Amino acid sequence: MSGATVVLADSTLQDAATKFLNMFGAVAGFLAVLLIVFFAAGRATGRFSRPLAIVIFLAPALILLVIGLVIPAVRTIVISFEHANDTVLHANNLHLVGGRNYAWVFTTGDNQHVLLNTVLWIVVAPVVTTAFGLLVALLVDRLKRQAVYKSLIFMPQAVSFVGASIVWRFVYESRGAGNAQIGLLSQIVIWLGWKNPPNWILSSPLNTFLLMVALVWVQTGFAMVVLSAAIKAIPDEIIEAAQIDGARGGKLFYLVTIPMIRNTLVVVFTTTMITTLKIFDIVRTMTGGNFGTQVLANEMYNQTFVSSDYGRGSALAVILFLGVLPLVGYNIMQLRRERSIR
């Protein structure tokens, strides 16, 4: 038995060493090619030197873009119109089904609930995150040692969504009446007089909004930092002129501050919306999509890697892509407009 274990360990070590050497060789070869190409571009002279340099510097990025994005995107769109016959994805076990996968997404009752949950996420979570970020930015900017408070509020941004989900899953933990509670939320409501709090994760549709709290907790720091910088960038002359004209408090905020940071608000909102539309980690970690919390990205994962239905999984991926695309385009337009104003 020990001899078999030693042989297995040696084989595993040998495979790992072989893979490492292959990876190292591929990287070294790629770098060597780049060095040769750049050396040749540096030695080039005459009227072709500039176009040659542009092509050489752009070519690696374009090649990686085509290999890593364009080809997989086209392949995913093609598969979304097909159906896999077995658990192995090969060209010879797919057959064309047209738009049936998309019809399945929009006409099935369970999927309609998934789409509704996704819409709730992309409407509620970005609004709350942006509002909280703006509120915190306004409050913290009035305090002394604001860098300390901003660091503490921004700290969750360094936590992955999986880590944040684990933290909030413990917060929502419920052990039933009469048992010692380890969930912070259950213990708080018991102290407030609610003797028998529910199992928060199982309570639909409340659990969907409780899951959103984890996203808001992580993203509020990002919104706060960006919006705080935008508020500080408002010229003092404008604020002073508005105050001379009688603007104070809420009037100053709605008539001066909000219009001056409107573009930044839109960028923060759309960026958070993109993150929300692709949300997967929180739902996967906290509920696995059960108890009425399923969203589009997690359903895509289930169809592709659990049910091995590559056609339906690809259709869901295409829908996600089409949902994100206009948001990205609008974000780019806003950033360009802001740069042109500056």
Q: Where are the domains of the chain?
A: 1-43, 101-161+203-341
Site of tokens 């002359």: 237
Q: Dihedral (C-alpha) 284, 290, 292, 297: value to the nearest 10 degrees? A: 30
What share of the chain in percent tops pLDDT 70? 88
Site of tokens 């509704």: 116
pTM of the model: 0.79
Alpha-carbon 282 to chain mean position: 10
Token digits for 27? 């990287």
Q: If pLDDT is split at 50, 70 and 90, which confidence band does 296 have?
A: very high
**Are the CB atoms for 217 and 286 separated by under 8 Å?**
no
Of residues 235 and 51, which shows the higher confidence score?
Answer: 235
Which residues have C-beta within 8 Å of that of residue 167, sequence separation ≥ 6? 159, 214
Token digits for 219? 């993203």
Q: Mean pLDDT of all residues in the chain?
A: 83
Q: Has residue 41 got a pLDDT over 70? A: no
85-114 pLDDT, tens digit per residue, is: 544 444 455 677 888 899 999 998 889 999
Rg (CA), the chain: 27
Token digits for 281? 């980690």
Least confident of 10-24, 36-50, 137-151, 240-254: 36-50
119-144 pLDDT, tens digit per residue, is: 999 999 999 999 999 999 988 887 78
Helix (H, G, I), strand (E, B) or coil at 95: strand
Strand partners, 82: 96
Token digits for 110? 């369970």
- Give dist(CA 145, CA 155) in Å, integer: 16
Q: Find the mean pLDDT for residues 207-212.
A: 94
Helix (H, G, I), strand (E, B) or coil at 294: coil
Sign for the pseudo-dihedral over CA of 218, 221, 227, 233: negative
What pLDDT, on a 0 to 100 scale, did the predictor assign at position 91?
A: 46
Alpha-carbon 151 to chain mean position: 22
> How far is the first Cα of the chain from the last one, in angstroms, to the nearest whole number?
73
Helix (H, G, I), strand (E, B) or coil at 96: strand
**Are the CB atoms for 195 and 177 separated by under 8 Å?**
yes
Least confident of 1-10, 99-108, 280-289: 1-10
Would you put residue 174 in left (φ > 0), alpha (ψ -120 to 50) or beta?
beta
Q: Dihedral (C-alpha) 286, 287, 289, 293: value to the nearest 10 degrees? A: -90
CATH architecture of the domain 101-161+203-341 equals Orthogonal Bundle (1.10)
- Give dist(CA 317, CA 336) in Å, integer: 28
Q: Tell me, what amino acid is at 182?
A: I
Question: Roughly what angle, to the nearest 10 degrees, separates helices 161-171 and 206-232?
Answer: 130
- Give dist(CA 268, CA 262) in Å, integer: 10
What share of the chain in percent tops pLDDT 90? 28
Which residues have C-beta within 8 Å of that of residue 173, sequence separation ≥ 6? 181, 182, 183, 186
Least confident of 76-80, 88-92, 262-266: 88-92
DSSP 8-state secondary structure symbol assigned to residue 83? E
**Are the CB atoms for 227 and 173 separated by under 8 Å?**
no
